[in-house]
């Protein structure tokens, strides 16, 4: 099942909660997708925070097939 490509904010770090809302998935699914290499590894942006730069996700959004959670 193909995923509709969400609009990627320019110059803004994309947090886990944003991905959860865009795809309607749980936090566990986000991390399962990272483990399965569907999504790239997030970058540390603080002591206990991670996120993605828009450029890190563009290729993945463009070629992404929704895996089973």
Closest CA to 54 of 43, 65, 67: 43
Above 90 in pLDDT, residue 10?
no
Answer whether 66's CB lies under 8 Å from 3's CB: yes
DSSP string, 10-39: TT-PEEHHHHHHHHT--HHHHHHHHHTTSS
Tokens of residue 21, six digits: 């809302």
Per-residue pLDDT of 12-69, as tens digits, reads: 899 999 889 988 899 999 999 999 988 899 999 899 999 998 888 877 777 665 555 5
pTM, whole model, 2 decimals?
A: 0.70
Q: Which three-class secondary structure state does DSSP give residue 2?
A: strand
- Domain segments of the chain: what residues? 14-63
């Amino acid at each position: 099942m193909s995923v509709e490509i969400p609009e990627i904010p320019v110059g803004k770090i994309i947090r886990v909660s944003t991905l959860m809302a865009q795809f309607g998935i749980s936090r566990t699914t986000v991390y399962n997708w990272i483990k399965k290499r569907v999504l790239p590894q997030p970058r540390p942006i603080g002591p206990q925070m991670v996120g993605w730069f828009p450029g890190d996700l563009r290729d993945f959004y463009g070629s992404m097939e929704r895996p089973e959670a």
